[in-house]
Chain A
């Protein structure tokens, strides 16, 4: 996708030539800096509403899960209201979900922990398997109830079981899945709100991070003082100023 938008730059620039008969499809650049106004590649903003990857039962489970990982309390709204499940859904539907850019040639063999993950199973596949197994495990243990239908303390019991590995999932490693969903939830919660998991900059307001401000020259010498700039995201918040 990024490559595509880069390619769109070609052709209109006087100094950026597509080498054709003489030298194939290289981007030949000479005579000055190639530049064209507006030729940028901004991020794709997440629009809320609907699910791009999750089925309705999967979405219900993930919304319930993120709400326990980041509970609603005095400090901030919870993971569900912040959009963490929406964030994960959009990520799994995109490049992240399919290991895009990863080295995916085989053979896939297991090695030492320090050699890093070697599984061909993508995050999207991992969620699909683990979420199905999670509901199966919950139904077996808690009189037919899916994870999302459990009371909060039961949900916490299940999550702790995944965390310490005592709760086994059929066809998925419970601890690996716990680490994945925790990392994704916290990443979405703390990322720019444009990605859907940090609605109204809830996490940034909670911790005191002003976000995408670009200029702290007025503040660098003001040691040990509370920065009073309101937080801003990259998507044209009315309070944005560099």
Chain B
């Protein structure tokens, strides 16, 4: 039996971006808040010091800051007829661990989704007819709109100090920004990042081809910044050790660099680290949460009663927690019924290698940042006519190369021997003069009836709980889209002057060993009624109204941008609804 602790107003599961934002907002509202975090405490000065953070082997190749599969992993299969097998070491995505969550190791690309993304199904049906959407595609509208979220995107960007060039301020298109973005209420808090040679050259080539390139919005800051909480951040130094690493400079937006210094000083907040939550407890009616149960690092179980529970873990673990706690009905792909696990999506990324004449081009790829580079948005969302193309969706295309770390990023032309003096020569000849972005085409991954999450029948975690089972594959729509976008990117590389371009469009089958971003989405999605979603438009559980579920698990499908900007905006949107509506009258904020 777990030992029972004194009651708190709010119990938060996971102290990453959304847990930190919610804790900050709810402690400001006067509530007594505890956050329970699976991983360790992490701090810039002690955990990401400048004296050894620049270590590719330790932090990128052996991913020391991440969750280890021995703690918790997933199983994977392409379809329901296969036996799912465990992911024994990470590949297709990387899952964070510890205070700060994925906010520690992200690249800090800080995008907003398009206004049409939030009403995707009705928008596409209106423009192309409902029959244009593939029959097995289960996309839907979000239940929130751009206008609902704009103030909250603004809050997240000003928290982070995001560096960028606005493309649309209150409906007025701005030179040098993204002309396709929704109308924003004010400029970015800091100007856009400077660009390296390869990034700038891409922008010039894209412009010559008639596109409207703009700098990628960045949570690595172009200049020092003090956020509205009074927390100070430093200028990015283009060290090239960003994604997979913590930032030693206080220049990458993270809970550590934007919120925690303020939050941790509050007498009505505490964090408990190295404690793994086992379940959300429900009362006898199973329609109200009574708190959470967790296991501490000695293996002892504790019950933490709370009036309000906020599930703020990573997407996969949010869905797993709901299933382990018996909240909501598990999704059944045969009937389409049940919401928990439905509309699981990832990201469709692709690129091309560009090899240039070494005597004319020196890109110094190591001079870079997590979120840098020039992008075009002509082929994102529904910014272009899909009618003749036979697919829906799209993504941004950019020269957004983040590093020149030699183990991971060194590319040699495809006809090079794998070893020996010829390999060495090719490595030397191409290291400074190739462009190897990885996700140059960062595109949508829409939802399908046969792509979902449930509990694995065989494999268990170290506590004996079933692992999450991923049933996921690439569908024709995404494969066509990826080929189209990759061709567009390759044309720009040619225009830049590449002597050899090697296209790498995303193809099926889905490969769990190939990194494809850590942007897993869906499984506990938001919507306008309990028949099509797990959460209402405020991220409140339809089944258990004193439970709110943050993060990308709420995305009905994934769009052609990095998700964190929208995750942050939704967290502020939900926090505002809790403070202004829920606390005054606890109960469902939307009546089904």
A242 to chain B, nearest CB (A): 7
A211 to B52, CA, bound (A): 11
Q: Is A171 an interface residue (CB 8 A)?
A: no
Asked if A43 meets B200 with Cβ closer than 8 Å, knowing A29-B271, A31-B267, A101-B68, the reply is no
Partner of B194, one of A39, A194, A214, A220: A220
Stretch in contact with the other chain, from B128-136, B312-320, B377-385, B415-423: B415-423
Contacts of B200 in A (CB 8 A): 223
Q: Is B528 an interface residue (CB 8 A)?
A: no
Q: Is B580 an interface residue (CB 8 A)?
A: no
Asked if A224 meets B362 with Cβ closer than 8 Å, knowing A111-B83, A112-B509, A190-B407, the reply is yes
In residues 348-369 of chain B, which contact A (Cβ within 8 Å)? 361-364, 366-367
Partner of A192, one of B57, B238, B272, B364: B57
Q: Is B424 an interface residue (CB 8 A)?
A: yes
**0/1 string, A213-228, CB within 8 A of B gives 1:** 1111101110111110
Q: Verify B424–A31 contact, CB threshold 8 A.
A: no
Partner of B296, one of A25, A100, A117: A25
Contacts of A68 in B (CB 8 A): 419-420
In residues 189-234 of chain A, which contact B (Cβ within 8 Å)? 190-192, 194-195, 203-204, 206-217, 219-221, 223-227, 234
Contacts of A194 in B (CB 8 A): 55
Contacts of B54 in A (CB 8 A): 192, 211-214, 234
Contacts of B82 in A (CB 8 A): 111-112
Contacts of B240 in A (CB 8 A): 216
In residues 487-511 of chain B, which contact A (Cβ within 8 Å)? 509-511
Q: Is B459 an interface residue (CB 8 A)?
A: yes
Q: Verify B428–A207 contact, CB threshold 8 A.
A: yes
Partner of B55, one of A23, A192, A203: A192
Q: Is B512 an interface residue (CB 8 A)?
A: yes
Contacts of A101 in B (CB 8 A): 68-70, 89
In residues 123-148 of chain A, which contact B (Cβ within 8 Å)? none
Chain A residue at minimal CB-CB distance from B458: A107
Partner of A190, one of B195, B273, B406: B406
Contacts of A34 in B (CB 8 A): 41, 43
Contacts of B61 in A (CB 8 A): 187, 191
Q: Verify B302–A24 contact, CB threshold 8 A.
A: yes
A237 to B459, CA, bound (A): 47
Q: Verify B296–A26 contact, CB threshold 8 A.
A: yes
Asked if A102 meets B69 with Cβ closer than 8 Å, knowing A27-B41, A116-B513, the reply is yes
Asked if A116 meets B273 with Cβ closer than 8 Å, knowing A182-B418, A192-B57, A210-B366, the reply is no
Q: Verify B85–A116 contact, CB threshold 8 A.
A: yes
Q: Verify B410–A215 contact, CB threshold 8 A.
A: no
Stretch in contact with the other chain, from B258-266, B440-448, B553-561: B258-266
Q: Is B582 an interface residue (CB 8 A)?
A: no
Q: Is B88 an interface residue (CB 8 A)?
A: yes
Q: Verify B366–A182 contact, CB threshold 8 A.
A: no
Q: Verify A70–B419 contact, CB threshold 8 A.
A: yes
Partner of A114, one of B3, B419, B513: B513
Q: Verify B78–A195 contact, CB threshold 8 A.
A: no
**0/1 string, B99-130, CB within 8 A of A gives 1:** 00000000000000000000000000000000
**0/1 string, B330-354, CB within 8 A of A gives 1:** 0000000000000000000000000
Asked if A27 meets B432 with Cβ closer than 8 Å, knowing A68-B420, A114-B511, the reply is no
Asked if A214 meets B77 with Cβ closer than 8 Å, knowing A25-B296, A31-B265, A208-B431, the reply is no
A26 to B275, CA, bound (A): 6
Q: Verify A33–B43 contact, CB threshold 8 A.
A: yes
A109 to B82, CA, bound (A): 12
Contacts of B543 in A (CB 8 A): none
**0/1 string, A25-54, CB within 8 A of B gives 1:** 111111111111001111100000000000
Q: Is B149 an interface residue (CB 8 A)?
A: no
Asked if A23 meets B302 with Cβ closer than 8 Å, knowing A103-B86, A221-B194, the reply is yes
Q: Is B248 an interface residue (CB 8 A)?
A: yes
A209 to B407, CA, bound (A): 11
Q: Verify A102–B89 contact, CB threshold 8 A.
A: yes
Q: Is B58 an interface residue (CB 8 A)?
A: yes
Chain A residue at minimal CB-CB distance from B57: A191
Partner of A219, one of B56, B275, B364: B364
In residues 53-90 of chain A, which contact B (Cβ within 8 Å)? 68-71, 73, 75-76
Q: Verify A216–B237 contact, CB threshold 8 A.
A: yes
In residues 8-53 of chain B, which contact A (Cβ within 8 Å)? 40-41, 43, 45-47, 49-52
Asked if A102 meets B88 with Cβ closer than 8 Å, knowing A26-B272, A214-B239, the reply is yes
Contacts of A22 in B (CB 8 A): 5
Q: Verify A215–B265 contact, CB threshold 8 A.
A: no
- List chain A positions with a Cβ less than 8 A from chain B: 2-3, 6, 9, 15-16, 19, 22-36, 39-43, 68-71, 73, 75-76, 95-96, 99-105, 107, 109, 111-118, 156, 159, 163, 182, 186-187, 190-192, 194-195, 203-204, 206-217, 219-221, 223-227, 234, 242
Q: List 20 A-B contacts (CB under 8 A).
A: A6-B40, A6-B41, A24-B3, A24-B296, A24-B300, A25-B300, A26-B297, A33-B260, A35-B45, A70-B424, A75-B424, A101-B68, A116-B89, A182-B419, A203-B406, A206-B427, A210-B366, A216-B366, A234-B54, A234-B55
- List chain B positions with a Cβ less than 8 A from chain A: 3, 5, 40-41, 43, 45-47, 49-52, 54-58, 61-62, 64, 68-70, 73, 76-78, 82-83, 85-89, 91, 194-197, 200, 235, 237-240, 248-249, 260-261, 264-265, 267, 269-275, 296-298, 300, 302, 361-364, 366-367, 404, 406-407, 410, 418-421, 424-425, 427-428, 431-432, 458-460, 509-513
Known: A114-B512, A192-B56. 6 other contacts (CB 8 A): A68-B419, A76-B424, A105-B86, A191-B61, A213-B239, A220-B195
Q: Which 8 A-B pairs have the closest CB atoms?
A: A101-B68, A223-B197, A25-B298, A30-B270, A207-B431, A103-B69, A215-B237, A212-B54
